[in-house]
Amino acid sequence: MATDTALVIIDVQKNLIDEAYQRDEILAHINTLLAKARVTGTPVIYVQHDGPKGHGLEVGTDGWQISSIIAPQESEPIVHKRASDAFYETSLQQELHERHIRHLVVAGGQTEYCVDTTVRRATTCSYDVTLVGDAHTTFDCDTLTAAQIIAFYNETLNGFKTDTSAIIVKPTQEIVF
């Protein structure tokens, strides 16, 4: 990938990841992506959801913390958000602009909320996106299993386009920085 690429890790916080589908595999894939990005000097940007008081992601609580398994390094920014869209009223676009980023490699959670909303929004902001298909996760719901949700979004988002940008889905092993 080119120097205009960043790895964006969305909401891999204790209360979201600890009980998520294929937790260990997802964290291993994210660690592989982090190692690949860091060795090539590719910027890594974390996104952390700040929930309200009483919410499982209440700011400052243990469950709000980014998983220590994929913890950011001191030089890696953390963008705080309060909505599913990581661009909405956050510093994400500024962080990307300062680094001349045009392509996002995205991993994290929760597939049908923050991952989906953020990658679609990224295309309307003229960013190309590679969604790492085996490095995002969610939970079972009443209608679908987590595996079905992930498969559905990988299929639905692969090839999603705007006039200027697109989303492609690739597995961790195919990501090159």
As a residue count, the chain comes to 177
**CA pair distance 149, 153, nearest whole angstrom:** 6
How does pLDDT run across 64-103, given as a tens digit for each residue? Answer: 999 999 999 999 999 999 999 999 999 999 999 999 999 9
Domain extents in the chain: 5-174
Tokens 């999603």 -> residue: 160
Q: Which amino acid is at 71?
A: A
Burial class, 35, CB count within 10 angstroms (exposed 0-12 / middle 13-18 / buried 19+): exposed
Q: What is the mean pLDDT of each run of 10 residues along the chain (177 residues)?
A: 89 97 98 98 98 93 97 97 98 98 98 98 98 98 98 98 97 97
- The rounded distance, in Å, linking the Cα atoms of 37 and 151 is 25
- pLDDT of amino acid 2: 63
Thinking of the domain 5-174, which architecture would CATH place it in? Answer: 3-Layer(aba) Sandwich (3.40)
- Paired tokens of 64: 């709000």
How far apart are alpha carbons 175 and 169 in whole angstroms? 10
Give me the pLDDT at residue 1, please: 52
| Torsion angles phi and psi, residue 63, rounded to 5 | -65, -20
Whether pTM > 0.75 for this model: the answer is yes
